[in-house]
Structure 1
């Protein structure tokens, strides 16, 4: 059985936060400096905090409490501009506005009421009218990213994509691939998996995030990184049970946020060992 604390990977950074990390959103323009924004949420105080972190070294650039409702949600970052959806009514899933928040000050740069995000690039933002009652398809509106001024363009909504980011695929217990995945994990860890397994293949490295029920009936999450020569580079328990741990991002998140319990940015993996912590390792030893 593999050591549950085995680690051959160099640490990139580890950040501890006062409130739980709800999810991460990333810079989407490949030519811009790498960064992510951690959404921290305290249910007790109904406090939303945005922490902007530089990659690859994990230096905190800004930390602010934005002038937004608690349930507002970031969509991604383009050229350092963070776009968000405002949700003023927690019982209704439809956004009430699309806006751009200044990550340094927490103030809104611009906001378009009753609009929903459909795409963005380094200069423009695409959106459509959002309504609970009107389900008809509405024309796409285009705004300048920096100041929110409307523009006319014949360009189609861009596909959200960031070549520097990789997110896992989640395999449920009903997946045809699960028996293969389960046998592989059990062979190298002696663990019987429970629930969905997140999987990502990068080069010669195979990355798994899985749940394992311990003898005290507690579900724990483990991260396993192994190469094709069957060398285990990382096998680590998250330190929290399934009921209290939070995913790295929401399951219905946009591609700019990503799904799953971990993600890879260039040569480093980011994951949550606890709800208040983000840890990153380099996937390959540094020269």
Structure 2
């Protein structure tokens, strides 16, 4: 017997709140765009360029001590975190006007070695601004291509109104998640970009499930307005949506609190994306399709005329 989280006896009237929800979403999107225009994003070293230094402490690293040593040496903005084990430390430093990029790694290592002679230099890497700009362009292009492919797939799989609703929901999710990082000035690096693409996939999965149930009910339910049928479909998929979201959130909470600083941004983007993606699959994708005038006739299967059906019967 399938597990049921909730036993819903009556249809929940989700679409009754579609207008306040659309207004709320519009406010969030406008606030996100405003913040992105004014504050912009706090780009990580993957996009801005900078220096990455990896060192090893045989007896274990004291991250707070390393941060203090670097801060005293005018590297207060250095990002210090464990890398794989408690002995390995990864240090990321943004470009500096007063120090050449080629000498930053040697300077950092000398500062750490003066404090602890046992420290071992593992590697020094420099990410140039040209590479960072290319990553920015390629990342934006990846999201654009993903949205276009989704638009084409959903239009072919369901109906163009659902496709427009799906893409509107995905753009809504991406913009608001970017707005969160802009408002809080959280570092935006390649792991966060990967999380954004994962949010697109998660939100699309929810939207496809809901759209499939709406199409099925449009064909099965003989009486009822489009709004009523959409409410029935959303109510029927509510159990699945809650269970999927909860199990995903449990994993992401573990990553957020125990995954370390290296994937903190990734877990933050996905946690927020799961909430906003679940919301948008109900109140953006479905509401947009309803506003565009989706009807039962649009989703009915065309009748296939059998061969010889139009011939006159033989006497």
Verify same fold: TM over 0.5: no
Q: TM-score range by the shorter chain?
A: under 0.3
Q: Which structure has more RCO (C-alpha within 8 Å, separation ≥ 6)? A: 2
Report the TM-score when normalising by structure 2.
Answer: 0.25
Larger gyration radius, structure 1 or structure 2: 2
Q: Which has the higher helix share?
A: 2
